[in-house]
Amino acid sequence: MDRAFVTPTPLDGHALTQLRSHGLRCTPGRIAILQVLLTCAPGHVTVDEIHQRVIALGWPTDNTAVRRTLHVFTSAGLTHTLAVPGPVAYGLANPPHHHVLCSTCGAPTDVPAAALTATLTTVQAATGYQLTRSGLTLPGRCPGCQESPPAARH
């Protein structure tokens, strides 16, 4: 691989502030990863995509470091996962939201967390669990896929 020197893109002050407000140490690698997530928001991206984009910003890192950082972010409530088939995708947990995911075409849509508050409160009362504030993924069929006839059966 060509190891041409890439001047690192200046890092985002907004990312720095977000890390600090979640009590996280600010390393260039962490800031770069968060910056990628902010750029992709409200989308959700896989570890591989984040890794490629961080490198494109001029901050060399490896896949394991990206994965580890995303675990730290998720534990701190900064990010959450979107349970897509295949490699899991990460997104910013704010604004708090859940997802609906089309099981036919794979398109995800965010749902404001408030839409499920009543349901989750009921579940918490019934189970005694303290539920995560965001990041649920509900399967279904998107409006587009409901309109088109199901694929021919073999």
Q: Residue numbers of the site for Zn ion (CB under 5 A)?
A: 91, 102, 104-105, 142, 145
Q: For 16-25, which contacts have Cβ atoms below 8 Å and span 24 or more sequence positions?
A: 18/78, 19/78, 22/73, 22/76, 22/77, 22/78, 23/76, 24/72, 24/73, 24/76, 24/78
6 close to 58: Cβ distance less than 8 angstroms: yes
- Smallest gap from Cβ 134 to Zn ion, in A, equals 7
The residue among 55 and 145 lying less far from Zn ion, judged by its C-beta, is 145
What the block records as the tokens of 57 is 């910003």
- Smallest gap from Cβ 82 to Zn ion, in A, equals 5
- Smallest gap from Cβ 69 to Zn ion, in A, equals 17
- Smallest gap from Cβ 131 to Zn ion, in A, equals 15
The residue among 28 and 144 lying less far from Zn ion, judged by its C-beta, is 144
The residue among 11 and 22 lying less far from Zn ion, judged by its C-beta, is 22
The helix, strand and coil proportions of the chain, stated in percent and rounded to the nearest 5, come to 40, 15, 40
- Smallest gap from Cβ 152 to Zn ion, in A, equals 17
CB-based burial of residue 81 (10 Å sphere; 0-12 exposed, 13-18 middle, 19+ buried)? middle
The residue among 6 and 88 lying less far from Zn ion, judged by its C-beta, is 88
The residue among 54 and 91 lying less far from Zn ion, judged by its C-beta, is 91
The Cα–Cα gap between 106 and 116 comes to 22
